Structure 1
Amino acid sequence: MKINKLTAGIAMSIALSSLFVACSEFERREFSIEKPQSLIDQEALDAYKELKTYVNYSNQPNFKLGVELNLSEVAENSPFYRTMQSHFDEINFTRLNHMDFVSATGAPVMDNITAALEVNKSAGMAVHAGHLVQHSNQNAAYLNSLIPDLIIPGPTGTYLVENFESRTVGSSFPVYYSTADVSGTAKISTDPVAGASNSGKTLKLDGPRAFPQYQVNLPTGVTLGDCRKLLLDANAAAGNQGAGISLGISTTFGAVPSGRFNKFNPGKSLEAIGAVTNVWGRNLELDLSTFAFTDAEKQLNSFVLTFGNETGGANMHLDNIRLTWAKFTVIPKTQAERKTIYTAELDKWIKAVGAAGKDKIKSWSVVYQPLDDTDPTKLRTGVGMGSLPANTFYWQDYLGRDYAATAIKMLKQYANPSDKIFITETNLVDNVAKIQGLKDYIAYTESQGANVDGIATELALNVTTVDKTKVEAMLQALAATGKLIKISALDIGTGGNTAAATAELYQQQAETYKWFVKAYNTHIPAGQRAGITFRSPYDRISGDSWRPNEPVGLWTRGTSGSTVNAGYQRKPAYVGVVEAFQGK
Structure 2
Amino acid sequence: MMKINRKINRGIMACVMISSLLSACTEFETNDIVVDKPQSIIDQEVLDGYVKLKTAVDNASQPNFKLGVELTINDIINNGVFYRLMQTHFDQAALSINHMDFVGTDGVVALGNLPLALDTNKAVGMGAYAGNLVWHEKQQAAYLNSLIADIPVPGQILNDVVADFNTDALGKVYPTTSAAIRATVVADPDGRSGNALRILRNTGGNNYPQILVTLPVGRTLGQYSSVSIDFKGAGCCGLFGGGMQLGISTQLGTPANIKGYGGPSSFGVADNVWGRGTINLSLSNLNLTTAEKALTTFYVTIGSNTGAPDYLLDNLTLKGVILAPPIVKTPEEKRTIITAELRKWIKAVGEAGKDKVQSWGVVYQPMDETTPANLRSGVSINPKPANVFYWQDYLGKDYAAVAIGMLKQYANPTDKIFFTETNLVDNPAKIQGLKDFITYTAGKGGQVDGIATELALNIDADKGKIEAMLQSLATSGKLIKIRALDIGTGGTTPNATPALYQQQAEMYKWFVKAYFTKIPAAQRAGITFKSAIDRASGDSWRGNEPVGLWTNVKSGSTVNVGIQRKPAYLGVLEALQGK
TM-score, length of structure 2 as denominator length: 0.72
Query: Residue 201 of structure 1: which of 189, 204, 208 is its match?
Result: 208
Give runs of aligned pairs for residues 35-46 of structure 1, distance below 5 A. 35-46=37-48
Shift of residue 146, structure 1, vs aligned partner:
1.2
Q: Which digits, 9 at most, give the CA deviation of each residue in 1:201-248, with x for residues without a partner?
A: 39xxxxxxxxxxxxxxxx989797x77x56799999999xxxxxxxxx
Give runs of aligned pairs for residues 115-130 of structure 1, distance below 5 A. 115-130=116-131
Q: Does 1:365 align with 2:333?
A: no
Give runs of aligned pairs for residues 86-165 of structure 1, distance below 5 A. 86-94=88-96, 96-155=97-156, 157=158
Asked if the contact 1:359/1:416 (under 8 Å) is kept, the reply is yes
Query: Residue 542 of structure 1: which of 534, 537, 540 is its match?
Result: 537
Partner of 2:247: none
In 2, Cα distance between equivalents of 1:502 and 1:565: 21
Shift of residue 128, structure 1, vs aligned partner:
0.5
Shift of residue 543, structure 1, vs aligned partner:
2.6
1:48/1:194 Cα in 2 relative to 1: closer, same or farther (>3 Å)? farther
In 2, Cα distance between equivalents of 1:470 and 1:66: 24
Partner of 2:382: 386
Partner of 1:249: none
1:167/1:481 Cα in 2 relative to 1: closer, same or farther (>3 Å)? farther
Shift of residue 376, structure 1, vs aligned partner:
1.4
Give runs of aligned pairs for residues 434-583 of structure 1, distance below 5 A. 434-464=430-460, 466-558=461-553, 561-562=556-557, 567-583=562-578
Asked if the contact 2:67/2:91 (under 8 Å) is kept, the reply is yes
Letter in 2 for 1:418: T
1:575/1:326 Cα in 2 relative to 1: closer, same or farther (>3 Å)? same
Asked if the contact 1:499/1:564 (under 8 Å) is kept, the reply is no
Q: Does 1:64 align with 2:66?
A: yes
Q: Does 1:419 align with 2:415?
A: yes
5+ residue gaps, structure 1, are 1-15, 171-191, 203-218, 240-269, 305-315
In 2, Cα distance between equivalents of 1:32 and 1:541: 39
Partner of 1:248: none
1:519/1:19 Cα in 2 relative to 1: closer, same or farther (>3 Å)? same
Shift of residue 286, structure 1, vs aligned partner:
9.1
Shift of residue 541, structure 1, vs aligned partner:
0.9
Partner of 2:33: 31
Partner of 2:405: 409
Task: Compare CA radii of gyration and give the structure with the larger one.
Answer: 2
Asked if the contact 1:138/1:393 (under 8 Å) is kept, the reply is yes
1:154/1:480 Cα in 2 relative to 1: closer, same or farther (>3 Å)? same
Asked if the contact 1:554/1:574 (under 8 Å) is kept, the reply is yes
Asked if the contact 2:56/2:576 (under 8 Å) is kept, the reply is yes
Other structure's SS at 1:145 match: helix
Q: Which digits, 9 at most, give the CA deviation of each residue in 1:323-375, with x for residues without a partner?
A: 84523112210000111111111111111111001011110001111111111
Letter in 1 for 2:85: T
Query: Residue 340 of structure 1: which of 322, 329, 336 is its match?
Result: 336
1:324/1:121 Cα in 2 relative to 1: closer, same or farther (>3 Å)? same
Asked if the contact 1:275/1:284 (under 8 Å) is kept, the reply is no
In 1, Cα distance between equivalents of 2:427 and 2:393: 23
Return 470-479 or 552-561, whichever deviates more. 552-561
Asked if the contact 2:95/2:128 (under 8 Å) is kept, the reply is yes
Shift of residue 138, structure 1, vs aligned partner:
0.8
Matched residues, percent identical?
Answer: 56
In 2, Cα distance between equivalents of 1:81 and 1:406: 35
Partner of 2:298: none
Partner of 1:263: none
Letter in 2 for 1:301: T
Partner of 1:214: none
Letter in 2 for 1:332: V
Asked if the contact 2:155/2:321 (under 8 Å) is kept, the reply is no
In 2, Cα distance between equivalents of 1:403 and 1:565: 48
Shift of residue 500, structure 1, vs aligned partner:
1.7
Shift of residue 159, structure 1, vs aligned partner:
11
**Equivalenced residues, count:** 474
Q: Which digits, 9 at most, give the CA deviation of each residue in 1:278-326, with x for residues without a partner?
A: x9994355999xxxx9xxx9xx83489xxxxxxxxxxx99xx9988452
1:286/1:110 Cα in 2 relative to 1: closer, same or farther (>3 Å)? farther
Letter in 2 for 1:372: D
Query: Residue 283 of structure 1: which of 280, 285, 304 is its match?
Result: 280
Letter in 2 for 1:419: D
In 1, Cα distance between equivalents of 2:76 and 2:337: 35
Asked if the contact 2:441/2:447 (under 8 Å) is kept, the reply is yes
Letter in 1 for 2:452: A
Asked if the contact 2:502/2:568 (under 8 Å) is kept, the reply is yes
In 2, Cα distance between equivalents of 1:100 and 1:120: 20
Shift of residue 111, structure 1, vs aligned partner:
3.1
In 1, Cα distance between equivalents of 2:110 and 2:49: 44
Q: Which digits, 9 at most, give the CA deviation of each residue in 1:495-516, with x for residues without a partner?
A: 2221222222211211111111
In 2, Cα distance between equivalents of 1:366 and 1:577: 28
Q: Which digits, 9 at most, give the CA deviation of each residue in 1:475-509, with x for residues without a partner?
A: 11101111100011011112222122222221121
1:167/1:433 Cα in 2 relative to 1: closer, same or farther (>3 Å)? farther
Letter in 2 for 1:55: V
Letter in 2 for 1:30: D
1:79/1:232 Cα in 2 relative to 1: closer, same or farther (>3 Å)? farther
5+ residue gaps, structure 2, are 1-21, 162-174, 181-198, 210-216, 230-237, 244-260, 294-304, 307-315
